[in-house]
Chains A and B, each alone.
Chain A
Amino acid sequence: MKQRIIIVGGVAGGASVATRLRRLSEDNEIVMYEKGTYISFANCGLPYYVGGTILEKDALLVESVENMVKEFNIEVHNNREVVNVDPEKHIITVKNVLNGEAATDHYDRLILSTGAKPIVPKIQGLDQADNVFSVRNIPDVERIKNYIDAHIVHKAAVIGGGFIGLEMTENLADLGLEVTLVEASPQVMAPLDFEMAQFAHEQIELHGVQLILNDGVARFSDNGKTVVLSSGKEIDTDLTVMAIGVLPDSTLAQKVGVKTGIKGAIVVNEHFETNVPDIFAIGDVIEVKDFITGTPTLIPLAGPANRQGRFLADYLNGLDAKNPPVQGTAVAKVFALTVATTGKNERLLNQAGIAYQVVHLHPNSHAGYYPGAAPIELKVIYGEHGKILGAQAIGTEGVDKRIDMISAVMRLNGSVEDLQLIEVAYAPPYASAKDPINYAGYIAADQRQGLVKTIEWHEVDALIEKQAYFLDVRESFELAAGKLPGSHHIPRGELRGRMAELPKEQPIYVYCSVGLRGYNAARILALNGFEVYNLDGGLKTYEQAKYETGQMKTQPHLAAQSGSDSTTAQQAPQCTKIEVDACGLQCPGPILKVKQSMEKMNKGDILQVQASDFGFHKDIVAWANATGNQLLTNDIVGNKVVATLVKGVKASHDDAAHTLQAAPDTGGATTMVVFDGDLDKAIATFIIATGSAAMGKPVTLFFTFWGLNIIKRHANTKISKSGTDKLFSMMLPKSADHLPLSRMNMGGIGPKMIKKVMADKNVDSLAVMIERAKQLGVKMVACTMSMDLMGVAREEIIDGVEFGGVASYLGEAAKSNVNLFI
């Protein structure tokens, strides 16, 4: 039977339902009333039109009126507002917006797709302001563009830190305006949890926007030229965008007795039917069912609106279609970052009384060794049976992809176990063999099985206050960029040998920078009977959560002052400039790269380093301060941080030389012949070696006879040997771990004692000293002749040792002014 179906509202849902209705039926009369001039325009593109990213207005017009008429045979009435409905008689009253003329029309079915309208609160002074705008449709953004063209506009204020507010902030900043963003709650982007929103806060400030949180607009004064906030703070502005949210535009519905619910949203059943016969509703104006809680909610997003339009058309044509519950998957570009979410966040789960667990991780967007990799800050929230309840992700690349996959897993009520099993398309430019979502699944599954217990960032401060035992398992040099106050430090690699230092009677809270080494350490300790917790997300999540807005200087593109008192070494022409790419580096990441590069440089040389992790921006400031190097610039360039440093006059090799007092550089080299293989002598050797190397001297250690035992590798490499070689092998210590003492050896008790004393006094173990010596560029040479005599094979010697004869020793000794025989 031929029907006349009238649609009120010609954007998103309205356009979708109209075209689908036509595709399913050639017979029906399909009529669209739109109060604006344009139908089916791309409202999500509006901010980018203001910013000039989208140049042509026409690009925003998805379907023209002409096309709707010709291609789809739809009767389109734009500039026509439906002002009343007579549900009994099935008649609508229509007002011509241009000339006020009224008309009526008859419908068999009426579809309301009236959308949502920006909230414009009654604020004192708003009526006198001619420079306050909201962003809902094309005329709105044209007004903004025209205003900018016709007036001198330097400063802009955006009120509201939701998606539109942020997009407008970015686009106005792109136009070169000085932008202030005001948000009444403690964070922008409500779908994020606070610690995740902090990444956005930092990003916003890094791009020169003034961010004011926890403050609302009290009034406008000076014809809108001044925004007065609740705190009394005043903001000068030439242009203000109000983006504090939207409300369902249900005036017409309410007028004709259609039942409404939350914030006036139209209540519909799963077939989009309202309480009034033959009146249906779709899009931002309706209440939808929340995917997680099953309760009614408002989720004004384009994706669901389009889907609803299509499904309603299906239903009206007798197909099986129901309005699916909505997860609220969303994404926004925030300067260089992509911020995406799906499902529920912690705040909403707490409100709903749903129990959950979370994991935070910071995996690379693709294989770290392939150029351009950048970290993704990922948070996954799961509930009973591991069912995924929500996820949040932030980064410069691959963020939308991961949230889309997690959203798809959620759609079928998938669990964290499913996340482990998703087979992602992997090649180095796209992903890692273990994709971020696999990792999230692995970590969560381990949590669920009790393999690791975690604490969250927000529990840390209370624990510190209670003097809980925090154990930092990062490498020594990482501590320069910050650590938890009062924490103890044992690098993860040394943990097995130093467990005696740890308390058995109280819980140990382990942390590293991103959580991975912490997890490994937690496993070791748990398997050794300790009560241990790992800090989820590591120091990175905790420190980001502690980010303080408003601390950044107003010109963040300029160099932050490194607090060092080094002389203002400007770029001397004779200085070498070294460029380093630290993008996509695995933890400990860019700082290690900087440290290693700096060590190869001379005082006054300049290092330029780029990193894809925005956290580097603050890490490098702290590191430069702690190490006495001078930070010249610290800029955001595209989606990277680019910093330049001058190697400082008093630049030390961080803590490498902490066992020695720094001494003036006397030039010359140090050589040592290491003849004996006793533990105490070995320790002395490496203290002197690392000390001299830290002072910038070339150091060569020449290992001969018993001294070779010091540089044997740990692994008990089985090598077939014959006769005397075999005998020697059995009698000699296997590696540096097994060396005797020169005095008080006492059948091996002595070495154990000294190792404990070293550990207690926080002196590095010999193995660590050897490793550090290597990092500092200490040259180690094993004497090939004595190796032959002692029956030591090359495979038994640790990596990084050169092989040479007496000539190589003499050559080095000739250049040195310190020459020792140990």
Chain B
Amino acid sequence: MGKNPVCVLAQFKTTKALYHACERVRDEGYVKFDAHSPFPIHGLDRAMGLKPSKVPWIVLILGLLGAAGGMGMQLWMNGVDYPMIFSAKPYFSWQAYVPITFELGVLFGSAGAVFGMLGLNQLPRLNHPVFNSKAFSTHAADDGFFLSIETKDANYDEVRTSKLLEGLGALQVEHLKE
């Protein structure tokens, strides 16, 4: 465990309290914070001020690369590198290559979705400071609604941030170390 706290964790009683807390924290200018809830809460991404995900771009680019690679590979192999005649078709029979092109596009696209999502979420990781909280470990997957603010955030100030969270109706505020 490090010496300095890496994040401050606040527990809220209801989804509503968490939702409003997120709005306030967002409006106060915090960026490096996260909300933790046992189930999805409609509109929470807006309350947190999250930008649209970048995953679609990863999927698009990888999907197109996969499709281009699939078509290119077959054109090169059957047309250039080892020209072969299959069922009296020309060397460059793009029609025959469509299924593989499609499959590789989908494969790369979906791999981009999965690994892009994991990468952007910085997963997998073995542990996270929030798990050092007893309250978090017992309630986060059950009936607790949490908000964590990283101390790396430019707006973070030990006293002010704790006050802010307490003022928003947090049941308890903890400072967690690595």
- Tell whether A pairs with B: no
Instruction: Using CB atoms and an 8 Å cutoff, list the residues of chain A in contact with chain B.
Output: none
